Amino acid sequence: MKNDLLTNRMFFRLKKATFPLFIVVIILIDVSVNAAENSDSKKNRNSTFKNKEIDLVKGKVTNETGASLPGVSVLVVGTKKGAVTDIDGNYVIEAKIGDVLQFSYVGLETKTVTVTEAVVNIALSGGSGETLQDVVVIGSRNPTRTVTESAVPIDVIAMKDIATQGAQTNLNQILNMVAPSFTSNTQTVADGTDHLDPAQLRGLGPDQVLVLLNGKRRHTSSLVNINGTPGRGSVGTDLNAIPSFAIEKIEVLRDGASAQYGSDAIAGVINLNIKKDTKKLDINLFSGSNFSRNANDHRGGNDGNHYQLDLNYGTNLGKEKSFINLTGSLQLRDATSRANDATGTIYNAYNAIEQRASEDGININSLFGNISNTPNSTQIINTIKGYAPQVSYFTGAQQTAISNATTIPQLQTALNFDATDGELAYRNLERKNFNMRIGQSSFESVQFFLNAAYPINDKLEVYVFGGTSYREGESAGFYRRPNQSRSYTGLYLDGFLPEIHSTINDLSAATGLRGTIFKDWNFDLSNTYGRNAFDYNIENTVNATLREGSPDEFDAGGLRFTQNTTNFDMSKKFGTLNVAFGAEYRYETYGINAGVSDSYSQYDINGNVVTGTTPANIRVTDFFGAARPGGAQVFPGYRAENAKEENRNSYAFYTDLEWDITDKWLLNGAVRFENYSDFGNTTNYKIATRYKLTDNINLRGAFSTGFRAPSLHQIYYESTATQFTGGVPFEVGTFSNDSKIAELLGIPKLKQEESTSYSAGFTAKIPSANITITADAYYIKIDDRVVLTDQFTPTPVTQPLYDQAGANAATFFANAIDTESKGIDVVITNKLNLNENMTLKNDLSGTFSKTRQVGQIHASPVLEAAGQVNTYFSESSRIYLEEAIPRVKVNLTNNLTYKKLDFFLRNVYFGEVTDPNVADVNGDGFVGATIVNGKAVENEHPVWGGKIITDFSVGFKISAITKVVIGANNILDIYPDKNLGPQTARRATGVDAGGNVTYAPAATAIDLSNQNQFVYSRNVSQFGQNGRFVFARLSFSF
């Protein structure tokens, strides 16, 4: 049924996004005419080439594996006649029989061939897929532009060696360790974000980097990050839905590119190129585990086992230049756990007594719904007093107080003491049994991707690529201890650790026609469809207000996002001027599926849903009178009123010019007009230039404007979720930007972010030492940046709306601030041939960046009048924005190859980060504060120091088809700085008449470790907290 629905929706999207038909008609007419002409001319050429002179030679250049080589220089020796191969490795040059052609390419041998016929195909050896990295297809619409010739900075990461040498298996991990400007880590205890790693470029948000697959826009995830992690409030692309084994190379454009590619490309663009090898079968077997001193809750050994099987097969489709390349991937990953033994109160005296009663089959909790409103209080009192003497470790005074109690309130007082140590001993348990699961989530994943092309004739090719990914994940939340009202000891006597089980379905499909029309215009007509669905199932949990009637598993609903993009692109080179233009139509939908009613509802003692008018005396409580919250513990489901499906469409037109004004001076220009159905028009432009000072030194710079349309998720997302602040749980409602409560609080309507970007740098080559250097500085100003606000508390006017959502705090998406980002990126590469059997490749790269909020917070008059500007954009939000990811990151990679052996060594320095939580860091007894917008704001944050992570592996080629690699990520078992444990400090309370911060007279408790569970910060991490990962990989290539 789901497949049928998906097919129907897919057809509907494709139908709605159909591009103007006259373009297709023109293309087909032109192709048909040319095909007929080509058929006749081909017959004539075939019969006369052997006997007649020729004036044109054409052909294709590949590497030794058969992969196309774009950017190869072709020269007629002794003349000034030359050509460059296009993106498919094809060339055409003026030459005649007897002429000598020279083929040259950086990193490969130069070959000369004497022309004997009109078609000359050639393969250049001396390199592999790694040498393809010099030619790029992003940042320029000239298909022969190289990295050092580009006017903007681009990193190209060849996957051939990474796929066999490194410990990283998914794209987020690979990029985090390889590209200094890229940041991504697994998160912990962050709801859905535990299952989908946020990824950032140049310190900007996950939604400010555009991801392309084979040059086509990739859809984003359906998940919006609302918990306390880097990227909070943003929507990113699930890179891990694409198997890394399917990728030939990754291009990272580190420059604003909205004028070329549209919305989201403020920080840059990541383009993933799928393999198109043929006549080849590659198999990869991977196994690894975290062998770390801190594994298994700091008891040592190993955890986080990871197993992976990858297959890649390519073949042609029975025609020259046709191919199909298929990739399948299966992954199994176990969780890691890095908590310490739980501290604090686990059991109270009531828990001890109910345990003794339970052993006789009596459930004391079933005797009452609301402890202050029960007709059988005498029975409850007598039952408790009857079993109290069985608790042998109660003191005489404690037993006397219980025995003398004659009312429920008196018993509540008598039983309100810590019984943890005695009860742990009685139940034969330890504190470690109550640990949270701190570390990476577990998952099982199956993925399948394909890339194919089939030439209809020598001017037209049809292509298709895409794939599907199915991933099931499991993570856990805060332990619900038996002494807490969120637990229900009538079902879980020892409390429980609730689990979030996710199912992530991702589907993408792109198809198109490309070739030449009007004799020598290149065109590409394509349609790209993508869908991501994220469904929640909550297990090992309870709805405490249902008491004994509660299930232990709930369907909590889910999220879905679809995107369909139709593109038409044309380009042609007029001598030294490359002209490109095109159009795009995009249709998007976003939806929320409601969970079952029990997953989110709160019930009273009569089984009716609680509303704002439900009297307190019929609400369900625990024995001590604390109200029990409704919904599935850890993640209340999406409510029926949250369920929705919203959509929008956009269209765009662009033009892109690239002009080699002289042999030394290159000038790029792009303009893009875009219209969104929900917020209107935007026009962006870009100017970039490159000047060759010498044959080996280039200067380059760029200026561009950009934009990012607020995602449908940010406009329409709504939910109520449990969030912990300082270890205290809150039901926090995230309300849509167009909701009534947003209007009452003065939250303005969302609009697009707008950016201005500058970059300047140089590239240099030292041929004698085989060294390449690039250095680029950048500045990005973003206006009206969308953030997720802090938590607003209810007012008398808004309280009914909070009650309706089951929330006691509210957050919203808003264009709250302006920011500026600046930094420098440096890349140095070197390759040495030490002798005929030994080569050494060295790569040094680094990024030094800074992002900060500038100007005033964009609060409405309503918020200003209410004194809630600092809630609109809080101090913790500032830290997530500015200091939660490393500002400095440096990567040094050395790869030594000797005969059948290769040695891989990588050191990555991750700079310091700041924790968004506050504490008495300097030990003076106060939490430091400053005055912002007339209010005292605490701003004393822990700073976690920079660390160096070392990877090392050794590979051995057993045979021509078999290679084995063993190694480790983080071989020195480095961890982040430890979190701050329990402390007391005086907290800021306000501002006095003299404009000074005032402090509370007495110190209060602060514990960032949450009772020894978060040994390392849960909110920020430079490189995760899993420690050493040891792996082995066996690869076959047939």
pLDDT, position 65? 64
CB 241 within 8 A of CB 998: no
Higher pLDDT residue, 592 or 278?
592
Render pLDDT for 564-585 as a digit per residue (tens, 0 to 9): 999 999 999 999 999 999 999 9
- Alpha-helical (H) ranges within 139-292 are 159-165, 171-178, 258-261
Render pLDDT for 79-119 as a digit per residue (tens, 0 to 9): 767 788 876 788 999 899 988 898 877 556 678 899 999 99
All structural domains of the chain, each given as residue ranges with its CATH number in brackets, are: 2-128 (2.60.40.1120), 163-336+440-911+946-979+1014-1037 (2.40.170.20), 349-434 (no CATH)
Q: Which helix (H) or strand (E) holds 302?
A: strand 302-315
pLDDT, position 724? 62
pLDDT, position 82? 78
Distance between CA atoms of 874 and 853, rounded to whole angstroms? 11
Q: DSSP secondary-structure letter at 794?
A: P
CB 1031 within 8 A of CB 290: no
Higher pLDDT residue, 164 or 127?
164
Distance between CA atoms of 788 and 791, rounded to whole angstroms? 9
Residue 42 has pLDDT above 60, yes or no: no
Strand partners, 657: 579, 669
Full-model pTM: 0.86
CB 840 within 8 A of CB 811: no
C-alpha distances (whole Å) from 409 to each of 380, 381, 413, 419, 625 are 12, 10, 6, 19, 9
Among the ranges given (64-68, 266-270, 367-371), the one the predictor scored with the smallest mean pLDDT: 64-68
Which parts of 605-677 are beta strand (E)? 644-660, 665-676
Residue 1004 has pLDDT above 90, yes or no: yes
Among the ranges given (134-148, 268-282, 909-923), the one the predictor scored with the smallest mean pLDDT: 134-148
pLDDT, position 846? 95
Among the ranges given (362-371, 682-691, 763-772), the one the predictor scored with the smallest mean pLDDT: 763-772
Strand partners, 814: 787
Q: What is the residue-averaged pLDDT of the chain?
A: 90
Q: How far apart are the first and last CA of the chain?
A: 40
Calculate Rg over the CA atoms of the chain.
32
C-alpha distances (whole Å) from 735 to each of 222, 642, 744 are 17, 9, 12
pLDDT, position 246? 96
Q: What is the dihedral angle through the alpha carbons of 384, 385, 390, 391, rounded to the nearest 10 degrees?
A: 70
Q: State mean pLDDT over 172-193.
A: 92
Residue 142 backbone class (left: φ over 0; alpha: ψ -120 to 50; beta: rest): beta
Under the banding of pLDDT at 50, 70 and 90, the label for residue 416 is very high
Residue 617 has pLDDT above 80, yes or no: yes
**Number of other CB atoms surrounding residue 575 within 10 Å:** 7
**Encoding tokens for residue 746?**
């003065």
pLDDT, position 257? 93
| Percent of the chain clearing pLDDT 90 (strictly above) | 75
| Percent of the chain clearing pLDDT 70 (strictly above) | 91
Residue 344 has pLDDT above 90, yes or no: yes
Among the ranges given (162-166, 305-309, 562-566, 1012-1016), the one the predictor scored with the smallest mean pLDDT: 162-166
pLDDT, position 34? 43
CB 682 within 8 A of CB 674: yes
Written in H, E and C, the secondary structure of 693-715 is CCCCEEEEEEEEEEEECCCHHHH
Q: DSSP secondary-structure letter at 192?
A: G
Q: What is the dihedral angle through the alpha carbons of 315, 318, 322, 324, rounded to the nearest 10 degrees?
A: -30
Residue 52 has pLDDT above 50, yes or no: no
Under the banding of pLDDT at 50, 70 and 90, the label for residue 741 is confident
Under the banding of pLDDT at 50, 70 and 90, the label for residue 48 is very low
Q: DSSP secondary-structure letter at 136?
A: -
Give 396: exposed, middle or buried? Use CB within 10 Å, 0-12, 13-18, 19+.
exposed
Nearby residues of 140 by Cβ (< 8 Å), 6 or more positions away: 150, 151, 658, 668
* DSSP states of 620-639: -B-TTSPBPP-S-TTSPPPP
Q: Which helix (H) or strand (E) holds 813?
A: strand 813-835
Under the banding of pLDDT at 50, 70 and 90, the label for residue 22 is very low
Strand partners, 114: 100
Distance between CA atoms of 887 and 1024, rounded to whole angstroms? 16
Render pLDDT for 139-165 as a digit per residue (tens, 0 to 9): 666 655 567 778 899 988 888 877 778
Nearest residue to 526 via CA among 571, 464, 587, 580: 464
Q: State mean pLDDT over 795-817.
A: 84
Render pLDDT for 652-671 as a digit per residue (tens, 0 to 9): 999 999 999 999 999 999 99
Residue 8 has pLDDT above 50, yes or no: no
pLDDT, position 24? 36
